Every structure is written in structure tokens, then in C-alpha cells.
Structure 1
Amino acid sequence: MKMLDFTTNLNSLGFEAGLSEVEKELLFLRSRSAGLTVSGCAHAVFVYELFRLLRKKLSAENGCTANTHLSVGILGGGHVGKQLAKLFLHSSDRKPCDINISTKRPETLGEISNIGVECYFDNIRLAKGADLLFLCVLPSHLPQVCSDIRCHLSSDCLVYSFTSAVPLNRLAMLLEHRFIIKPQYEFVACDDVTTIWLLHNQVSAALKHEEVLSASLPLSMNGGLFLDQRWVSAVLYALLNMCTAAELGSGKTLLLLNELFETKTFTYHSFVNSPSASDPNKPDDLFPWVSLVDAQTKETPLTDLVLRNKGLRDCISVLYYNVFSNLAEG
């Protein structure tokens, strides 16, 4: 005889039942934490995918289709580090061996290491081998971590920081590195939208929902979260720097970036407005290397372009949706 569970959907046993009225006013912090984790991981994976796609185009340009490998380093194996690694594994067909995690307790990552992700405690090894390094450590650990790795980062290694409490300029000083992206989020509590972040406790599962994916869209976030739009400019300048590091002329660089986003928007002066800059009529000239710290703390030509050009924003959004389309299919 089948027994009925009388506790199912019983409000008195729910999480909120034992909270005082004052404590209930703080419930929005759960949505804030979940929203930051979901959006932060999604945006980080999106940046990786843009780098991967551009690396593929650069390799084809140089006649070397095999050189498309990008090594991912995740420094920190706590909640965010684990969720980020799982999203990397679920959002594309990348090989687990392309992902390395350095954490003080690698033995806690058995679920991830068993499928081929390299998990160990060696920050220097991680920094030396990473094309993209994701910082997922507590702010209190950051000074020591930066001291460990700053002499071992290649100049074109992109450092992507989840450590929100440490200002970007401070992080750049600690790392002695300026190829850094650090998203800045704001959260406004709103009962009718913030609950979408609590649909699942796994990022990859949450992003299968159209509502969650739409809420995380970098250029039009909702659900109470807002992303500083200079993040988009920094990502685009990072791609530009990638072409400069490959010694690709400005003409071909613009061609590849327009192809990547399926647009015709980008011109030389979309990125550079200095009168002393290289002549845009000389397509073999390299773009100057752009400090991503400046791109996130100052107004740039791209800041205005992204703000006023809806067509470009739509192209970026389509590419963002495409990155996670296989999650919905899985």
C-alpha cells in the first residue's frame, strides 16, 4: 500500500517558516547570491567562448587549423570554482583535460577530477599554463595568491576575477598585470523577479531555463541584477589585444572581429580615437595594446558605440544565446 507524504508542500516545514519578520527582509540576499553565481559563471564562459572562436579564426588566418587550444585555469575550488568548472563541461564539447583547478583541498573535487579535470594545489603551475585564469578566491586570500602567481603570468594571459570586494586598480597592482577583466554588478531587490535565480542550485541547470538565460544577458540584465556596461567594452578590447598579440594588421583584425559577431559595425575608430594613433588607411599597422584596466575605469570609443548601436548589441546577444543553446537541448 502506497503511503502518502503529508509533509509535502507543508509551509510550516519550509525554509522561511522559522524566520522572524526582520530575517525575512533579508531573504533577498539568497537571490542576490544565486544571481551573482549564475550570471558570473555564464559571463565568464561567454568570454572564454569568444576567445576560443577568435583563436580558431586567427589559426585559420595563419594556416594552422590545429592551433586552437585554450587552457583554462580556475584558481579556487569553492562554490563558485566548482560551478564554473561544471558549466565549462556542460556548455560545450571542450575536453576536461583543458581545465585545471588549483585549490587547497583538491580531494574535495572528486566528482570533477574523476572525469578528467586536473585538480591540484599549485597556484604557480596553474598560472604558468593558463591562457585564461579565473580567480575564484576569497578577498582575504587574494594578496597571497597574487604574490604567488604574479611573476608567472604571460603578458597575454587574461585574468578574470570573481573577487568583487577588491577594486580593479588594487588587483592590477597586486598582480602587476593589466590584462584583467573584473565585472561589476549591482543588485536591486524586487520580489516579482529575483525568485528566478532560485530555480536550481546548479548553474548549468538554471541556464537551461529561457527566463534565467534572458535575465543573465549582459546587455539587458533583469532579475534585479545589473552589469556595468564597460565590461562589454573590456571584453571587446581583450579580443582586439588578442589580435595584436598575434601581430595581425588592423585591417584583418577588423575583418575577423566583424565576422565573429556577424556585423559590419566595427571600424578602426570604434576602438581608437587618438589623433596620434596609426593611420586607419594602413591596414597592415597593428592596433595599439589597450589596458583593460583603463577600458573598465574610463570612457572609451567602444563605450559610446555599444550604448548607441542596437544592431551591435543584438549581435552580441545572439552570440551569447548560441553559447548556451546546447544546455537547453541537453
Structure 2
Amino acid sequence: MKIGIIGTGNMGRILAEALIDGNAVSPSSMMITNRTLSKAIEIQKIYPGLSVGKNAAEVAENADAIFVCVKPHHVLGVLETINPVLTSDKCVISITSPISVEQIESKVDCSVMRIIPSITNRALAGVSLFSFGSRCTTVWREALFTLFKKVSVPLEIEEKITRVASDIVSCGPAFFSHLVQSFINGAVKETEIDQETATKLSSEMLIGLGELLKQNHYTLQTLQEKVCVKGGITGEGITVLESETGDMFEKIFQATHKKFAEELKKTKEQFGP
């Protein structure tokens, strides 16, 4: 299978690097391109075997699975550009949540799917979210699921939970990184620990927490129960968290869904109802 990646910004680059480092594909089986070609060439310097296409059409013509990794308002333009070289045996994959597989299917005549990746895939971990178009063949479904098992836990989702699932899988790392940084800053401000030490301790704590969950030693709930002794120091901290966080996470999901609604409106204006 030949892989094409159109757009090598943050997620496009992460996708390319993860697929190669996870031995899902070889560099020689991948062709990439970017509006600013120098960004694609930077990746080629790390993986000399891969090819850089001069434009989106060249990548689509030479690839079997074509990942469209551009911003939502640029997707339609890319589809219109590559459509003349698409054949029925190819598959177009979007990675952006506001554009549905049905909208993409309305513009191309090949198999279509959406795969929403996560930055955690760069560590060959985390989840990738799958949605399939009505014309997507079983062969392509199985092929891409198998491919992404090398870099993630692939999971098919319903359209109605696309935004919240993406919030958890793709936005979650940024949300929790922000919380941990605030945790570190609080420790530095209120105690004699320095920033470097607090960051090191917090980073290693997170890695250890992940391993406990990965190895099924505890669930999130049982882990908290094990650490939080009644009347102890951890309990005092939990009491503060319960008081201060309140409905913070509900507000986060309200904000992301509001922004998502705005993006959906824009894509409908582009693609039509």
C-alpha cells in the first residue's frame, strides 16, 4: 500500500513519523507534500527513503491511501484539486472533525473515511478515531484498521460523539498538560522546590500513572482510593480539587462544542447541505 499525506503541519507530520517509526509503512511507500514544500523536505531529511510530491495532485495520483491533513477550510480546495486523478480503488482519508465523511463522499468517487489521530500516536500509543463512508469497501476498512494498530488503538465511533471523542483523544493531552503545568507552578510558588525539579517529578509521576493504568494494576477510581487515605494529606488536596474545579470540565466541553458548531456551519456553507 502506498501512502500519501497532503499537508505536513503538526498532525500531518506526526502521522508520517508515527507510521514510519511504528513500522506500519516503509519510507519508500510514502509520498508527502505541503503548501510550503520546505516543511515536507525537512521530514524527508529524517527519512530519506520517502518522496516529496510537488503538489497535492501528484501525491494523490501516486498513492493508494491519501490523507488530507490540512485545515478544515482548505479541505474542499484539496478535494477539488485531486479529484481528477482519483480512481475508484483509492481511499481518501480526512483527519478533521468538522467535515463528515458524507461531505467528502459528495466530492469524490472513491472510498472515504475519517481518521482523527492524537499527538499520543507519535509515541505509538493512544487512540485513533475512525468513521467510514457508505461506499468505503471492507478491504479498505480492514487495511487501515490494521495499519493504525501499529501506532494506536483504532476505534470506530458514531458521528454524534465525534466532537467529545476528539476532545478526549486529541485535545485531552493539551488540556491535561495545562493542568499539570499549573500544578507545577503552584508547587514552585508555594514551596521551596525549583521549576526543574518540580517538572521532573511531575513528568515521571505521569509516566508512572500511565504505566499503572496500562498494566491494569488499578482503575482511575481504585488508584485514587489507594492513595487517598481517609483523614490524610492526599484527602485534603482532593477536597480542594473538588471545591475548586466544580463544573470546570463541563464548561470545557460546552466551549469546544460551541466552537465545533461554528466550524460545522462554515463547512456546510462550503460543501452545501
Same fold (TM over 0.5): no
Q: TM-score, normalised by structure 2?
A: 0.45
> Structure 1-normalised TM-score?
0.38
Which one has a larger percent strand, Structure 1 or Structure 2? 2
Q: Which has the higher contact order (CA 8 A, sep 6+)?
A: 1
More helix per residue: 2
